């Protein structure tokens, strides 16, 4: 089977840096994706890591260690609009398996 | 370019009733997916399709059927709705199902089964 673990909730203040961790167990692993979902909205793609290392996209970065079955999403210069749920997802063949999500609450 | 659209946005059903959820995409994507999202459970894959005329089971397929008669449409059917199927249903599509490809999600259908 497959399983992903991520914290259920993280809180931070505006301007801070926050890291959301994700550990996974799966077979046939292709890569790790991250999606953002605002309350009541649709999930939207943030980043994808197939190889070990850090991928940077603006204020967001994502890291993967295949040997540790571990990844994280790093959000810098937090803004109020970053308050949302963040899901890690393992890509296995042509489907994604999502974690249960981390709710990020950004306060002033 | 509308992306992924879903119909209806919201529906209330009685136990035992049937309904069909429609997903349409205008991006010429090959792969389409149906997920359900429940509080604290993340997104779980119900069924998916790798091309017109094909369907495959996901993680939680029981109680649902799907059809992909046209490339741009993916239908999700509930033959006899149960309260356990109360959920938010999301449709998604991707270009070819490759690992590095983004899945684009529709706005969701909120279903309440009484």
pLDDT for position B99? 61
Please report the pLDDT score of residue B2 as a whole number.
82
Task: Give the pLDDT confidence score for residue B101 in this predicted structure.
Answer: 75
Nearest to B75 by CA among B29, B34, B36, B22: B22
Quick: pLDDT tens for B68-103: 999 999 999 999 999 999 999 999 999 876 666 789
Nearest-Cα residue of chain A relative to residue B51? A94
User: Which class for A58: exposed (0-12), middle (13-18), buried (19 or more C-beta within 10 A)?
Assistant: exposed
Using the structure block, give the residue that is written with the tokens 């459970």: B41
Q: pLDDT tens for residues B41-68?
A: 889 999 999 999 999 999 999 999 999 9
Which residue from A42, A48, A100 is facing B41, i.e. has the nearest CB? A100
Inter-chain touch B99–A91, beta carbons under 8 Å? yes
Pairing state between β A84-92 and A102-107: antiparallel
Contacts B33 to A, Cβ<8 Å: 95
**pLDDT bracket for residue A27 (50, 70, 90):** confident
Residue of B nearest to A89 (CA): B43
Burial of A97 (0-12, 13-18, 19+ CB in 10 A): buried
Q: Provide the pLDDT for residue B97.
A: 63
Distance of CA A108 to the CA centre of its chain: 23
pLDDT tens column, A35-81? 999 998 999 999 999 999 999 989 999 999 999 999 999 999 999 99
């Amino acid at each position: 089977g497959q399983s992903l673990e991520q914290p259920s909730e993280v809180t931070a203040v505006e301007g801070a840096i926050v890291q959301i961790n994700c550990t996974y167990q799966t077979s046939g692993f292709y890569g790790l994706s991250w999606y953002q979902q605002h309350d009541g909205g649709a999930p939207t793609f943030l980043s994808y890591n197939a190889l070990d290392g850090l991928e940077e996209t603006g204020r967001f970065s994502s890291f993967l260690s295949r040997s540790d079955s571990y990844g994280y999403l790093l959000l810098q210069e937090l803004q109020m609009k970053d308050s949302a749920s963040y899901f890690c997802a393992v890509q296995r063949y042509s489907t994604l398996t999502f974690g249960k999500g981390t709710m990020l609450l950004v306060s002033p | 370019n509308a992306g992924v659209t879903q119909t209806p946005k919201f529906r209330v059903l009685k136990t035992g009733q049937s309904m069909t959820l429609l997903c349409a995409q205008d991006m010429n994507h090959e792969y389409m997916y149906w997920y359900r999202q429940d509080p604290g459970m993340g997104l779980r894959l119900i069924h998916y399709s790798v091309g017109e005329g094909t369907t495959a089971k996901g993680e939680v397929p029981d109680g649902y059927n799907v059809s992909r008669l046209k490339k741009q449409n993916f239908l999700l059917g509930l033959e006899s709705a149960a309260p356990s199927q109360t959920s938010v249903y999301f449709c998604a599509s991707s270009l070819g199902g490759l690992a590095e490809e983004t899945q684009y999600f529709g706005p969701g259908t909120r279903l309440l089964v009484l």
